Structure 1
């Protein structure tokens, strides 16, 4: 313990006479040595004992995990994907087999005019061919001449030969629904990317304000002890009365700064609480015993690895969810353009039914389908001016061009954001190194001023000025270091990879 005390006193600038004075019992006390020695002990113990209360650490990754799990915006983003899945399921319904039955009967004035019973099964396919099979049971005194009397059956199909052969509204809707599921996932990722960045910004603001509060409260403790020691020195006749006023003024200034720092820390905690939720949509309020992780404060920033700009730009262009959203929108519009092109084609539809007596639709299927027991039809149509088709097709192409331009603009903005935050990281790393060196130099000046003050060659005013400058540089250094780590997160956000 004695060796530790001697080391601390030498580090604080105590003279050899002061060391002898406090170590050797029975030696006449030198009052000019008592002040720096006691001040050293009090400040050292204050710095060693601070932070030993029951405190819980909250890391940035824990904040991210809470946001991903419970934040309402994250849950709403998940619903976007669920909604797109529901739309895809609905679009698949266009290819569901369907069963219909038609039953008509007419009896009037004692006469049985007719009765029709026609169940039918339709099976649509992806390639535009619709298969169908049905039964007929027709009868009556005045049956229409087109209907086959008695029981019969048929198997048939309908096939577009020009318009709607390559694609149609049903197939296009399902294609677009599948693309929109991927787009919904990209939108969800983009929303989560932005949400996590906002949470990280609030977290690092909270970290900075907490560190400033710790520094100022520690300075308050030191200056409270200094005031008491100056007063004792005044009563012992070693200090002027004005020194007590100077020490009190310095203390009051730091007390005000500590109060302001505490308010800013609590306000930053409230801002961070906006991103902290519990299960069942219950908001969470940060308690006073929760403090941020301080592992970052011992990181050597100017040797900390930074991401490669080329890799960050390549990642942003290939995986950024906002760019992917535009890519998928272009795919949707391209599917719409192909559909609109069908409007420029004439319609030519072929229908064929193979007929059989009785309820045996498959009987005789292997025979020549155009020899006997068949029904077929061909429909042809062509708008003479094609103005509607040409207008819709041109409009679809314009939408694609407009979306292409929007995608190019969004890509440029994202690339510039990546470059900006990368430059910010590099700049902050340099600035932190400069301020670390400046802080160490100002700290040496403060220690030298303390030594001069202890031997009566300096004033409390100059000591306070040195201390104010050290505090100012310390706060600026904390701000730069937290900005550096926030900028690292910002680079990740700009590439779209916070998830």
Structure 2
């Protein structure tokens, strides 16, 4: 089943569907909504990859040379390297070196060491590992926000289809009811003709009017079927199978008193404030700016010289922290190195840093444009909603007046002061007014959902 609801079997056991049920189905089962979950999982995987740059690394170097019966050297050097968040690397290892032709700078026999490598300029405040991890965390959070943005748009598309479906069904029911009225009217006119009370041409007039409405009924039924197909595109089962909405399913009765919309916020000031703070499409730009700011800090490091200092404390045998070899840092049993490099023109560094600043400026301009676009949409739908309220009130009175004209014309016909032609004319106008009123009402509800969508609230 597409959905299960105890109240789903209502009048005469006819299954009904309301707007909130459509939204729930789309949220849970639509492939696009599910695909966004995969994007979140992918962002989590990228975060795990970035964290891997801080994993301790165990390595080993094994080497041996023997030539013409002479054992030149045999070296075994296992090592563990531990990266830290502050750019400092801790390393510790063992060495076992034997042979008759050893490098005099190397220590024969068993030895061990523990030490650090410290960046003194470039990579001190930011390096690729820290930048990648920080950006991965941002993108992981941004993936959830992107999901909200995608689902927000998807739900609005579903509401467009739903309210078109509701409108086409309700108009079909209006025309269907009009057909029944005209069928009874034709029967009465025929009976009056047989009784000699009316002319034969009146039966032709009544039949022509009935056939006109029967034609409209067929047209409206086709429209209801086609809008049902468009709505079906958003309806999927829990097994991710497309679901064809049967024509036996109809909009829920009392749709004009949709309960869900009563809880929607329709205050312009509040909607603008909420949209500015939490609209997913605006938040995405905030995340992008945060990631670009990290990239700018990383590119700034390219303007600094590469100056790394490495210090290792040395011990005989494998007693890395043996008290026998503990001495002040630069007194005995140590090895250190200092590496310095600086491009003379810093062309690459200046270019990369400038590009990073341009990206930030461009993204900020995009954010300003998107913020304005969101505000315009919110205001536009709010104005439309306000106008629709007034239009519905006017059209309701217009429809009531046309109904009165039809009733008055029927009363005049009974007293012989009118004609069937005038009644049909009045009835056509009343039908047009009723259909127009229905279109305004369905558009009103769709606009309420569009107002929530424009503020980024539909996916919440």
TM norm structure 1: 0.87
TM-superposed deviation, 1:451: 1.3
Q: Distance in 1 between matches of 2:310 and 2:51?
A: 24
Tell me the equivalent position of 1:27: none
Q: 70, 77, 93: which is aligned to 1:118? A: 77
The match for 2:348 is: 388
Cα pair 2:228 2:247 within 8 Å, conserved = no
Of residues 276, 283, 297, the one that matches 1:317 is 276
Of 149, 153, 156, 1:194 maps to 153
Aligned residue in 2 for 1:78: 37
- CA distance in 2 between counterparts of 1:135 and 1:410 reads 59
Cα–Cα, structure 1 residues 321 and 298, in superposed 2: closer, same or farther, change >3 Å?
A: closer
**If you compute each CA radius of gyration, which structure gives the higher value, 1 or 2?**
1
Matched position secondary structure for 2:292: helix
Query: Residue 435 of structure 1 aligns with which residue?
Result: 395
CA distance in 1, matches of 2:180, 2:98: 107
Q: 1:102 aligns with which of 61, 80, 97?
A: 61
Structure 1, residues 396-447: CA drift from partner, whole Å, max 9, x if none?
1011111111110011011000000000000000000000111111111111
Cross-structure match for 2:318 = 359
- RMSD, aligned α-carbons: 1.6
Number of the residue aligned with 2:252: 293
Contact 2:398 2:433 in 1 (8 A): yes
C-alpha distance in 2, partners of 1:297/1:383? 73
Instruction: Give the conservation status (yes or no) of the 8 Å contact 1:341–1:389.
Output: yes
Contact 2:135-2:291 at 8 Å conserved across structures:
yes
Q: Closer, same or farther in 2 for the Cα pair 1:69/1:52, shift >3 Å? A: closer
* Change in CA separation of 1:68 and 1:444 when aligned onto 2, cut-off 3 Å: same
Aligned equivalent of 1:372: 332
Deviates more, 1:62-71 or 1:305-314: 305-314
Q: 1:86 and 1:355 mapped to 2: Cα distance? A: 40
Contact 1:54 1:289 (8 Å CA) reproduced = no
Shift of 1:372: 1.0
| TM-superposed deviation, 1:211 | 0.2
Matched, 1:205 2:164: yes
CA distance in 2, matches of 1:299, 1:472: 24
Alignment-derived partner of residue 454 in structure 1: 414
1:79 Cα deviation after fit: 1.5
Aligned to 1:498, what secondary structure does the other structure show? coil
Partners of 2:419 and 2:312 in 1: CA distance: 112
Is it true that 1:156 corresponds to 2:84 in the alignment? no
- Taking the aligned partners of 1:258 and 1:175, their CA distance within structure 2 comes to 62
CA gap 1:257/1:236 in 2 versus in 1, 3 angstroms: same
> Is 2:327–2:333's contact at 8 Å kept on the other side of the alignment?
no
**In the alignment, does 2:253 pair up with 1:307?**
no
Q: Which residue is 2:296 aligned to?
A: 337
Q: Which residue of 1 aligns with 2:385?
A: 425
Task: Give deviations 1:144-192, integer Å, cap 9, x for gaps.
Answer: 2222111111111100011110000110011111111121111111000
1:36-51 pair list within 5 angstroms: none
Partner Cα separation in structure 2 for residue 136 and residue 304 of structure 1: 73
Distance of 2:189 and 2:299 partners within structure 1: 89
Is this contact kept in 2: 1:133–1:156, CA < 8 A?
Answer: yes
Look up the match of 2:4: none
Question: How far apart are residue 141 of structure 1 and its match?
Answer: 1.2
Structure 2 vs 1, CA of residues 440 and 403 (structure 1 numbering), >3 Å: closer, same or farther? same
Unpaired segments of 5 or more residues in structure 2?
1-9
> Aligned pair count?
447
440-449 or 246-255: bigger deviation: 440-449
- Retained in 1: the 8 A contact 2:265–2:271? no
Q: Secondary structure at the match of 1:287?
A: coil
- After TM superposition, give the deviation of residue 450 of structure 1 in Å: 1.4
3-state DSSP class of the match of 1:451? helix
Counterpart-to-counterpart distance in 2, 1:174 and 1:483? 47
Deviation at 1:210, TM superposition (A): 0.5
2:361 to 395, 401, 421: 401
Equivalent residue for 2:229, pick from 270, 281, 305: 270
CA pair 305-360 structure 1, distance change in 2 beyond 3 A: closer
Q: Is residue 56–residue 83 contact of structure 2 (8 Å, CA) maintained in 1?
A: yes
Q: Are positions 1:474 and 2:445 aligned together?
A: no
Which string of whole-angstrom CA distances, capped at 9 and with x for unpartnered residues, describes residues 33-90 of structure 1? xxxxxxxxxxxxxxxxxx9543111011111111011111111112121111111110
